[in-house]
Amino acid sequence: MTGLRGVRRWLGDHLILGLGILVLVYTFVPIAVVVLMSFNDSSRSRNVYRFQEFTLDNWLHPGSWANGMWDSVVLSISIAFWATLVATLLGTLAAFALVRHRFAGRSSANLIIFLPMASPEIVMGSSLLALFVSSGFGGQLGFWTILIAHIMFCLSFVIVTVKARLGGLDDNLEQAAMDLYATEWQAFWRVTFPLVLPGIVAAALLSFSLSFDDFIITNLNSGQSVTFPMFVWGSAQRGVPMEVNVIGTAMFLIAVTIVVSADVARRRQAKALAA
Amino acid sequence: MTSTAGVAPVPVADPVPDLTEDPPRGRRLTGYWLILPAAIWLGLFFVVPFYSLISTSLYDPNGSVLTGYEMTWHVANFVDAIGQYKSQLLRSLWYAGVATALCLVLGYVLAYAIAFKAGRWKNLMLILVIAPFFTSFLLRTLSWKLILADDGFVVNALQAVHVLGPDARLLATPFAVIAGLTYNFLPFMVLPLYASLEKIDGRLIEASSDLYASPLRGFFKVTFPLSMPGVVAGTLLTFIPAAGDYINAQLLGSPNERMVGNVIQSLFTTQGDYAAAGALSVSLMVIIVAAVLVYVRTAGTEDLV
């Protein structure tokens, strides 16, 4: 009887874990395809939705990179860089205000911050376009309008991420530093800031990938500029050049390396502190 | 003000600053200064644009981007737009609803496994949930086009076991669009669910089994109700963007699967009919807000943030 129950219990425990892992595997199937296709030699056939032959050419010969693709990648990187910088700065300040300060209108501020994350992108994108057109900037859509839009939608994600980190901190640590005669400023830079930093870094990473990847809002507010997702979209109508998959794979590898090494560093630090 | 029995209450200024009270005035102003830049940005580029969108939706439809629009309070834009694109609107809500339900089932299993069963692999699994974000959304969706292709492995396998007829296809069907939506928005479901499951005190679940609840009963009477904030947040973060999405319908569907996002996008960018596009966009937002209010009221969770 107990044996049977034990078996059922083991099965219960491992069944759910197994199913969870299956769901996780499913989310990686399309990524495996992107990686695979980055090694596909599509020069022999027009059918780009099929694996033809293994080649390293897509990786090794940047000269063969499709027309305009490299420019679109550079544009996306520079927009993502500036959007991340501004959104992380403004968002971190706002997160401090929301967690560490009490002021009138705090709860409505929290709501306004949640709304961009929940609004459909098409509505945000079209309302920004309506604003730009009605205020006479309709002809100047491009780098600046894309940047404005990206800072706008990254802000909420930064605020929420930093807020979560800050909310989990014990503010007695700061008090303790000040009891030990640190000035408010020293307590901030020596104690609070280093503890919040992982949250800020995570927020910046999230911002960068959201901005680099955005299509719907960008497409409405970009004018003649072509970002990387727009390049992919445009080429999807004709047939995607395999080099696009190289960029996708490289992005994935870089981001995962950063995240995993940050996690490893955090664990080492925790271990060192415990020892 | 403190008073003890027998002693006449003397009103004196409290000498000890009460730390639970509001901080002194200077610090209160600091809060405003810190949030001001972000508030201005969101005000100018998130709140004000909605006003522009609403006025655009009421412009005279006879204008164009080149000749300019006139504000004529043309409410009929809404009647025309909804009348003409009713099927796309309804289809968007339907697809997004089905995708959200599928996300909830898949996401719950994954979030539950991470929160309660993963042990020391918890962090790794969480990283893996976010990792797909780091390849392009569009590239991943294009991959599904390849995976579900007519002579692809999946279709061939399903035909071999006679689940699909010899001429049946997956691509360019509602199935493909809903599968794409489910796939793309799954992480938005998993993360809030995980956050909420993680907070549950394991002793409550143990207590239910001590009181002879079966694991299943324990789940539906204890775990699931306690995870409601995560279910609500995850459902909203999945349903709302999915209802406005047009990438999946465009890349994985056919013209028969067009959603309202496709229509708004093409009205704005290729047809240049800003008045109709604005009206449709406002309608989508109104429908979504109404649906969310009803849902949140029924689900009974007020603290979303």
* Alpha carbons B7 and A272: distance in angstroms, whole number: 56
- Please report the pLDDT score of residue A48 as a whole number: 58
- Amino acid identity at B162: H
Cα A2 versus chain centre, distance: 49
| Residue in A25, A60, A52 with CA at minimum distance from that of residue A36 | A52
The answer for A 200-259 residues in CB contact with B (under 8 A) is: 209, 212-213, 215-216, 219-220, 228-229, 232-233, 236, 240, 244-245, 247-249, 251-252, 254-256, 259
Would you write out chain B's pLDDT as a tens digit for each of its 305 residues? 333 344 444 444 444 444 444 444 456 688 888 999 999 999 999 999 999 999 989 987 777 766 677 777 888 888 888 989 999 999 999 999 999 999 999 999 999 999 998 888 888 888 889 888 888 889 999 999 888 888 777 888 888 887 887 777 888 899 999 999 999 999 999 999 999 999 888 888 888 888 888 888 888 888 899 999 899 999 999 999 999 999 999 999 988 899 999 999 999 888 888 889 999 999 999 999 898 888 888 886 555 54
According to DSSP, residue A44 is labeled T
* Alpha carbons A151 and A115: distance in angstroms, whole number: 15
| Each residue's pLDDT tens digit, A242-271 | 888 898 999 889 888 888 887 788 778 777
Please give the C-alpha separations between residue A269 and each of A42, A256, B86, in angstroms, as whole numbers.
47, 20, 57
Average pLDDT, chain A: 86
| Single pTM value for the model | 0.86
Q: Does A20 touch chain B (CB under 8 A)?
A: yes
Distance from CA of A28 to the nearest CA of B (A): 7
Burial label, B182 (beta-carbon count in 10 A; 0-12, 13-18, 19+): buried
Domains of chain B, by residue range, sit at 86-299
**In CATH terms, is domain A67-240 a member of 1.10.3720.10?**
yes
Of A16, A121, A131, the CB nearest to B117: A16
Q: Does B122 touch chain A (CB under 8 A)?
A: no
Domains of chain A, by residue range, sit at 67-240
Is the backbone of residue B281 left (phi > 0), alpha (psi -120 to 50) or beta? alpha
The answer for A 162-201 residues in CB contact with B (under 8 A) is: none
- Please report the pLDDT score of residue B16 as a whole number: 45
Q: Does A82 touch chain B (CB under 8 A)?
A: no
Of B118, B142, B264, the CB nearest to A122: B264
- Please report the pLDDT score of residue A2 as a whole number: 60
**What counts of helices (H) and strands (E) characterise chain A?**
12, 0
Mutation to test the A interface, candidates B29, B32, B41, B134, most A Cβ within 10 Å: B134
Other C-beta atoms lying within 10 Å of the C-beta of residue B7 = 8
According to DSSP, residue B246 is labeled -
Write down the ipTM of this complex: 0.86
Terminal CA-to-CA distance of chain B, rounded, Å?
Answer: 35
Task: Give me the architecture of the B86-299 domain, per CATH.
Answer: Orthogonal Bundle (1.10)
Q: pLDDT band at residue A25, thresholds of 50, 70 and 90?
A: very high
Q: pLDDT band at residue A38, thresholds of 50, 70 and 90?
A: confident
Share of chain A above pLDDT 70, in %: 95
| Each residue's pLDDT tens digit, A185-207 | 888 888 888 889 989 998 998 89
